[in-house]
Structure 1
Amino acid sequence: MTFYNRVDELDALASAFESPGSDFAVVYGRRRVGKTALLKEFCADRPHIYFLAAQEAEHRQREKFVEKLAAYFDERVPRIDDWDEAFAYLGEKLHAEDLVVVIDEFPYLVEENGSVPSYLQGFVDEQLQETESMLVLCGSSVSTMESEVLGHESPLYGRRTAQLDVQPFSFKQAREAIGYDTTDAIRSYAITGGTPLYLTLFDYESSLSENVQSQILSPTAVLYNEPEFLLRTELRTPARYMSILEAVALGHTTPNEISGATGIDSGPLSKYLQTLRRLRLIDREVPVTASGKKSKRSRYHVADEFLRFWFRYVEPNRSSIEEAPEVVYDGTIAPDLPTHVATTFEDVCQEAVWEGIRRGTFDPYSAVGRWWYGEDEIDIVGLAPDDDRLLLAECKWTSEPVGEALVESLRAKAANVRWGLGDREERFALFSKSGFVDGLEDDLSEKWSLLDLTEIDKLLSPERD
């Protein structure tokens, strides 16, 4: 499989490894996000030992770990009865040779023996720090990594020299892997999201509809049961979580709406939502002008584009997909797909705003996000408190060019955004899939920016020297 992007992550690991002294790096993130591929790419041209933990009895985990060490050093496997001895054996060898030592899926070790972090503390403090080697702990259970490795109560707290929270690709990053033109690239990203595995399963020589039918709607495809598999690896009873994710994917975004759609009372629902947030399967969002903790105007959305697509179109139509997947695609998915993609397009445009800020195309803003109050919504609002400046933008994924009606609508809603002083400076932007009616730009002042797909693509393409 081709390795894409992750330049910043590779640079961070390389910088840590090449610095004087030993290093202890922590790498974590959601399943399928590409952590293992990142570490294997980093280790490829460096002397290393890579150990992948498994869900099995503690003694077998330890035996396999020691066997891996002995094999690297071409030695007979020593008899070792506990983790303290295993790490002591590793420490002894690292005094003779500088290595990168990766323990992948570290939470599986903790699951079988909660004292492993304490044994590692002794190894890091007493042996690793006397070497030029690097220890990397990696895990997909974000909660375990944050509590047992990074948390204040962990024996390993404060000892890390590098920390990487590996995220799915942004659209700009994913664009390298998506072999479609800009329109279909955004549509494709709205289906696969930024998870590297999902991106690379698509054959970009085939049409988007062919990819969806072969890679998602086929009962034998990897992605057909992927969300269910992910939930079962994290949760013992995933049924209620599945119903919540489906409700949110179908547009029930407030706690009251989710409760009504699922039949789950608000008390238990709050705990389920917290768990889904901890697993990074949903996000909580508040208007960009509001305080995140205090605001009661929160909305939830599925945090991954593929999961949003799956719970919107696959889960509710399983029976029909089993019988006639092409009918489901043509009759259910294709007609509604523009509505689904429109939400992704807003995120892509928000990404373009941040990139425009970095490049000087837009004035600087310290916060950028959605805004809503009552019936009014604005797709993108940027705040620059120090300059009392406000950016207001709308994003239209429609088949018709944008005209004066959207301009007037945005002007009217701008007056309802209660932020800043009375003489605040207002800037406006319109993003449009299908461009703009002739003469619109000429009728607007320099406070307005109009961006079609060509302009968006330029902002999200690598800068040229």
Structure 2
Amino acid sequence: MRIRKFVNRKKELETLERLYGRDGFTLVLVTGRRRIGKSRLVREFLKGKKAISVQFEKRLWEYNLNKLNKAIGEHFGIPAPNFSTFSDAFRFIASQSRRRLIVFLDEFSYLLRYSEVEAEFQSIVDEILAESNVMLILSASSVGLLKRSFFDYSSPLYGRSDATLNLPPLSFKHLFEWFEDISPENAVKVYAVTSGVPRYLELFEGRDVEGEIRANFFDPNSFLFHEAKELLEEEFREPETYYTLLEAIAKGKTRVNEIAQHAFLEPKNTARYLRILEDLGILKRELPAGRKAKRGIYRFKDLYFAFWFRFVAPYFEEIESGFPEGALEEFEREFNHYLGSAFEEVAKQFLIELNRKEKLPFRFTKIGRWWHRDKEIDLVALNEREKKALFVEVKWKNLSKREARGILRELERKAELVGLDGWEKRYGLVAKKVEGKDELREVDWLVWDLRDFERLISN
């Protein structure tokens, strides 16, 4: 495993620096799923600053209080104190912090499992630190616990934070900063199985990507083989239920009733579970762009989970027993097809980047998929105020000029079904490779392939 350079997170660092520049007590929450780089972000911010930093563990709160005592002793150059409560520890810190001092409590969610500690931190925040010059940074991998503690109205800690930094995964474009000389095709493959999670990217070199996928997912001793199950068990009290729901979506069940039937649950209960998975960034709920619809569908937002439930979960016991042949055959047969759906997300990010750089015929304000009955358009970008629409098909294929022209003409026919009468309409195609792009563009079609991705990212 190679630790790569610190990538992206510029806005988050700027926010932390701005809050650090304030006078008085400041409380900051850093959230995001495990392995997303929360600790690394804060460590970058702490460079050159006075700070007490503690990483809590999944153990009794007394054990973690002892870790805080040791960190206090090290910071102030004194023997480790023996404070018996967190309140006493922070009372001492507050008394010593006339100048700006940062206290970073990593994996704070391990304390939130104890209701008495959660209530104690209300007193610490409201009374003990209120007049201090402490900047308290709390990070948590268990997003559900943190949300219940700081964003649930009934919680003692509700509404106490000055800022919440919710770290998303890295975008596709950041893979070119992470890996040196990675090809666009290999970047798509890496992104399709890691979803841009920094810890997962550390396990890849970006060269023989399919070989690296085999090693990282189909070896019972590998980290990514176990990771999905461990994440669900860490986050949820009923991991088996969530596992079954994700299994259903991996099998193509996208509507609440279909998913509920597969999981043997009532639809109303299923909807609640799905909303939680949506809150955690594992799933996304989609409504058709450009069309009014009450009932959406659920798809994977996190591509690591999408890949794991598509190729690993059905063969988990066999792989664990050292018999991965069936899983590997399925991977070799179906991976290219899987990349087609993952490439839609990459294409969406590409269009958003073009939009941001004003390299499209108009600036869109909404983008998403469209479907109705058996018809589907991969991406529809809209500017509702100006009544302009861009329809785009996405193909993970090498296309001849003739094939590309056929896809674009069919797209024009399908776009009429969307019903945007009187709108200005443009049509586009994103593919792995397109022959004769320039000639197709002369017809007023918008055509891009991986070479255009490379140019956009290098500019």
Give the TM-score, by structure 2 length: 0.91
Partner of 1:253: 254
TM-aligned CA distance change 1:254 to 1:131, over 3 Å: same
Partner of 2:19: 16
Q: Is the 8 A contact 1:287 1:371 kept in 2?
A: yes
TM-aligned CA distance change 1:238 to 1:123, over 3 Å: closer
CA distance in 2, matches of 1:87, 1:203: 44
TM-aligned CA distance change 1:12 to 1:334, over 3 Å: same
1:190 aligns with 2:192: yes
CA distance in 2, matches of 1:119, 1:328: 49
Partner of 2:136: 135
Deviation at 1:125, TM superposition (A): 4.3
Q: Which moved more, 1:47-56 or 1:79-88?
A: 79-88
1:54 aligns with 2:53: no
Deviation at 1:146, TM superposition (A): 2.3
CA distance in 1, matches of 2:30, 2:443: 48
TM-aligned CA distance change 1:436 to 1:254, over 3 Å: farther
TM-aligned CA distance change 1:5 to 1:195, over 3 Å: same
Q: What letter matches 2:377 in structure 1?
A: I
Partner of 1:160: 161
TM-aligned CA distance change 1:442 to 1:35, over 3 Å: closer
Q: Is the 8 A contact 1:403 1:440 kept in 2?
A: no
Partner of 2:341: 343
Q: Is the 8 A contact 1:58 1:113 kept in 2?
A: no
Partner of 1:101: 103
Partner of 1:272: 273
1:32 aligns with 2:35: yes
For residues 290-336 of structure 1, give each alpha carbon's deviation from its aligned partner in whole angstroms, at most 9, with x where no partner exists. 56xxx43311112211111111011112354344436642x211221
CA distance in 1, matches of 2:392, 2:409: 12
State the secondary structure of the residue aligned to 1:201. coil
For residues 215-251 of structure 1, give each alpha carbon's deviation from its aligned partner in whole angstroms, at most 9, with x where no partner exists. 1111111111111111111223322321221221232
Q: Is the 8 A contact 1:51 1:102 kept in 2?
A: yes
Structure 1: 5+ residue runs without aligned partners?
none
State the secondary structure of the residue aligned to 2:433. coil
Q: What letter matches 1:444 in structure 2?
A: V
1:149 aligns with 2:150: yes
CA distance in 1, matches of 2:116, 2:417: 54
TM-aligned CA distance change 1:390 to 1:204, over 3 Å: closer
TM-aligned CA distance change 1:389 to 1:198, over 3 Å: same
Matches within 5 A, 1:345-424: 345-362=343-360, 363-401=362-400, 402-419=403-420, 422-424=421-423
1:65 aligns with 2:95: no
Q: What letter matches 2:59 in structure 1?
A: E
Q: Is the 8 A contact 1:287 1:297 kept in 2?
A: no
Q: Is the 8 A contact 1:17 1:133 kept in 2?
A: no
Q: Is the 8 A contact 2:12 2:165 kept in 1?
A: yes
Deviation at 1:368, TM superposition (A): 0.8
> How many percent identity over aligned positions?
29
CA distance in 1, matches of 2:46, 2:116: 28
CA distance in 2, matches of 1:60, 1:438: 63
Query: Out of 54, 59, 83, which is 2:86 matched to?
Result: 83
What RMSD over aligned residues (CA atoms) do the two structures have, in Å?
Answer: 2.3
Q: Which moved more, 1:167-176 or 1:386-395?
A: 167-176
Q: Is the 8 A contact 2:287 2:297 kept in 1?
A: yes
TM-aligned CA distance change 1:210 to 1:130, over 3 Å: same
Deviation at 1:395, TM superposition (A): 0.8
Q: Is the 8 A contact 1:87 1:120 kept in 2?
A: no
1:6 aligns with 2:9: yes
Matches within 5 A, 1:214-253: 214-253=215-254
Deviation at 1:375, TM superposition (A): 1.3
Q: Which moved more, 1:107-116 or 1:66-75?
A: 107-116
Q: Is the 8 A contact 2:28 2:161 kept in 1?
A: yes
Partner of 1:284: 285
1:458 aligns with 2:455: yes
Deviation at 1:135, TM superposition (A): 1.0
For residues 152-173 of structure 1, give each alpha carbon's deviation from its aligned partner in whole angstroms, at most 9, with x where no partner exists. 4444444433320111111112
CA distance in 1, matches of 2:288, 2:69: 52
